[in-house]
Chains A and B, each alone.
Chain A
Amino acid sequence: MAKVTLENVWKLFPGGVVAVRDVNLEIEDREFVVLVGPSGCGKSTTLRMIAGLEDISRGTIHIDGRRVNDVPPKDRDIAMVFQNYALYPHMTVYKNMAFGLKLRGFPRAEIDARVREAAEILGIEELLERKPKALSGGQRQRVAVGRAIVRKPKAFLFDEPLSNLDAKMRVQMRAEISKLHHRLRSTMIYVTHDQVEAMTMGDRIVVMKDGLVQQVAPPLDIYHRPANLFVAGFIGSPPMNFFEGRIEARGGTLYYADAHRNLRLDESRARAAASHIGREVVIGIRPEDLEFAPDGDGNDSTRRLRAAVEVVELMGAETYLHLNSGSGVFIARVASGAAAKVGDAIAVDVRMDRAHLFDKATGAALG
């Protein structure tokens, strides 16, 4: 069992800096949890407190039911993979991977067996006698992962391990880490600022901002039911489009209205918005929920937005249209064959059943 529990955990630095505020989190055995957020949100600090590399200012951390606040890192039975690999430059790959086992007094035969087993899993058997400077970035990261695997720890901690890799290698390593998780069936806690990594790798995502946990949920729940404006805007690429307006009631139907838009709320959204009639709200619409509507096809105008095309981004499989409706730019994700060029005045229809409403004052999602 390798359950990790954080209860009311705070981290305060000298000078009054609050890096982590009252984090409560339960990570189940064999779960892959991703901590995601912008730089400075406290995700790495939280990870380092779990590892024991940072003291805990307040609260408690339990690993497998054992309170570890005052337990040094080497006795927590965790292994960590660092952003900059942290390979010992004067040691060969073999010695890098064997170092932790050697310090713990493992017999030489067992060290050798574990190192070779991990090397085989990661496909780095031929690199064992090389030094880190003779390896590529992806190879170094694999060695760093291998150094963690040989320990057979209760939990793996990853601190932005793919940040220093190029885009192609990142995609490859993402898949390899996911495969590793399925193979090893271990608890993994993964920190990243990349929401694509978070969405593709985690069983659950913990979104953080300014030291606070914003939402904890499986990836699709985070995506389709963001708890607040920050989560909605942070997860998803291109990001969600936001418009500020009010909820109006006309003839028994609720509308979102602002200076340039008048959108009828879908039944499911209307129930959530009922408490906010006359109040200011923010409506969030994902780029893929805007459908390109060539003029004159008779679609419902209560969900139509008219805008001018400012930028056309051809992505190959799809096209991003940067549109300006007079109150700022928003992005629509349309099929690659959509006929629109810069300067065109076009219309897009909103999938109102997928629109998100947020209280403007608090940022919290309605309903």
Chain B
Amino acid sequence: MRNRTALGELGKHLFILLILSMALFPLYVMISISGKSGAQFAGAPIAPTAPFHFGNYARAWGMVSNYVFNTIFVCVTSVALTFALTLNAAFFFARYRMPGHRFLWYFFLLLMLMPGIANLVPLFMLLRNLSLLNTFWALMLVYVTGGQVVQIYILRNFIEDIPQDLFDAAEVDGASALQQVYHIVMPMSGSILSTLGILQFIGLWNDYILPLIVMRDDHMLTMAVGLVRMDSEYVKDWGALMAGYTLASIPMVLIFFFTMRLFVKGLAAGAVKG
């Protein structure tokens, strides 16, 4: 019985290692090539080689640094603005009733069914008419408005679960609606907000279509578009290209490591509440 259990455990572990290897393999390839010269890459594209050419990273940084800063600025600002709006909107939907509130809510839910890609042409024309093309505001406005729907839906349900007594107590203590959002809702929904923030951040970080159609100048490009352009321009310098991709991944990895605890807590909180 003990041998069969040990064999079973070994099988499970081997399976997990296989899945992990498949997930981590592209990462390994990227980092491995990032340290190769052209000759090393030609001789052994995937196998590790020596020496590791750190100079590729210096060259890559010159190429991608602008894209990194642009993307960080757009993503952080968009996430912050989205939170500022969705928290208040979700609070309104959860706590207040006015004529037509039900219609407004169902209208919001309807927006969740709308595929973003279907709006691309009218969106482009609208941004052009507003003279926002080739500006960061074009990206941020679209990200903020688009990111609200799901966040409002999730946050509204979360806020509804917060006991009414807490809001009553805050009201008696003298808190306005805005103060209730800031002092009660925000601290209590830390894990949910972290999860939503991380998910939105990742989505915006990787977004390709909107920056592609909105941005023209190279110095305005975000990461996703900039890296693809690099591929076209610097197609032979695989080492620098992969170093650029590695550098572009670092912010996301750092963010995830720092917020992983909150992210998992947020997912778990959602699971328990469900």
Contacts and interface: CB of A to CB of B under 8 A. Distances in A.
Interface of A: 51-53, 72-74, 78-80, 82-90, 99-100, 103-104, 147, 151
Interface string B160-172: 0001011011111
**Secondary structure of the A contact surface, majority rule:** loop
* Residue picked from B163, B168, B173, most chain A C-beta under 10 Å: B173
Contacts of A104: 174
B183 interface: yes
Given A74-B173, A100-B173, A88 B168 contact: no
B163 A80 contact: no
Given A80-B169, A88-B166, A100 B184 contact: no
7 contacts: A74-B171, A82-B165, A82-B168, A84-B163, A90-B187, A103-B175, A147-B169
| Contact-size category for B | 10 to 19
Contacts of A51: 168, 172
A28 B166 CA distance: 29
A156 to B, nearest CB: 11
Nearest to A75: B174
Nearest to B190: A90
Interface of B: 163, 165-166, 168-175, 179, 183-184, 187-188
B49 to A, nearest CB: 52
Contacts of B171: 52-53, 72-74
Contacts of B173: 74, 99-100, 103, 147, 151
B7 to A, nearest CB: 44
Contacts of B169: 80, 82, 86-88, 147
A9 to B, nearest CB: 19
B171 to A, nearest CB: 5
Contacts of A85: 165
A112 to B, nearest CB: 17
A100 to B, nearest CB: 4
A5 B175 CA distance: 26
Contacts of B166: 86, 88
Given A53-B171, A73-B171, A78-B172, A88 B165 contact: no
The 5 closest A-B pairs by CB, nearest first: A100-B173, A74-B174, A86-B165, A86-B169, A90-B187
Nearest to A51: B172
Contacts of A79: 172
A89 B168 contact: no
A80 B174 contact: no
A142 B233 CA distance: 70
A74 B165 CA distance: 15
Given A52-B171, A78-B172, 15 more contacts: A74-B172, A74-B174, A80-B169, A82-B168, A82-B169, A83-B165, A84-B165, A85-B165, A86-B166, A88-B166, A88-B170, A88-B183, A99-B173, A100-B172, A147-B173
Given A84-B163, A90-B187, A103 B174 contact: yes
Nearest to A148: B172
A88 B187 CA distance: 10
Contacts of A52: 171-172
A98 to B, nearest CB: 10
Contacts of B188: 89-90
Contacts of A74: 171-175
A48 to B, nearest CB: 8
A158 to B, nearest CB: 12
Interface centre among B170, B172, B174, by most chain A C-beta atoms within 10 angstroms, is B172
A337 to B, nearest CB: 48
A350 to B, nearest CB: 47
A103 B172 CA distance: 11
A191 to B, nearest CB: 14
Contact of B172 (A73, A84, A89): A73
A147 B165 CA distance: 14
Contacts of B165: 82-86
Contact of A88 (B172, B174, B179, B184): B184
